[in-house]
Amino acid sequence: MSGTQPQARSKLAVPLEPLLPRLELEPPVRELLEGAALVEEALARLEAAGQLMPACRLVAHALPKREAVWWACMCARGVPDEKATPLDGAVLEAAESWVRRPEEAARRACMAAAEKSNYRSTEAWAAVGAFWSGGSMAPEGQPVVPPGDHLTGTAIGGAVILAGVRRTPQHLDARLKRFLASAREIALGGAGRIATEA
């Protein structure tokens, strides 16, 4: 026996094809992905071509829902908003609480917090992503209306891009590279924490 630990399998080692319709890629970007079987390979191609926003949207749909919500939370913490209010902090706490304990009450608390914030921030869309992760979108006690399976990825993709353009949009590309590194760490079971910008 060698004594080396087997490498953790990335949660991005999933089939690409089922996710493509969710991404609504422009033809030149879609052509970059022809022949790619797994998200990992597609992600590497997108990054190499400088297609960082489509790469982030792909990751948002490929990660399991809890990990995707956590990723958006890490992006929000990595690029704090100087105009953030205590309500934004409460929305972020709600989303992170759901990741830690994905129970129905926590899921519904995410949407309640996002509604109060008028859906205007990365934090709000992270929370909406949690709400759309399962259960019902209808009010409690009403007939069940399950969310579409793509909705969490859509919310998280938007949340991550919003974090990327906060305060200094000219830093978008550098931020998205850091965000993608965080996503890869999360996909391997890590925390994906991002150094907080001053």
Q: Where are the beta strands (DSSP E) in 18-151?
A: none
Contacts of 35 (CB under 8 A, 6+ apart): none
Q: Give the tens place of pLDDT for each residue, 117-147.
A: 999 999 999 999 999 999 999 999 999 999 9
Per-chain mean pLDDT for the chain: 95
Q: What is the pLDDT of residue 8?
A: 77
Q: Give the tens place of pLDDT for each residue, 21-44.
A: 999 999 999 999 999 999 999 999
- Asked if residues 56 and 161 have their Cβ atoms less than 8 Å apart, the reply is yes
R_g over Cα of the chain: 17
CA distance 113 to 143: 23
Please give the model's pTM, rounded to 2 decimal places: 0.95
Q: Is the pLDDT of residue 164 over 50?
A: yes
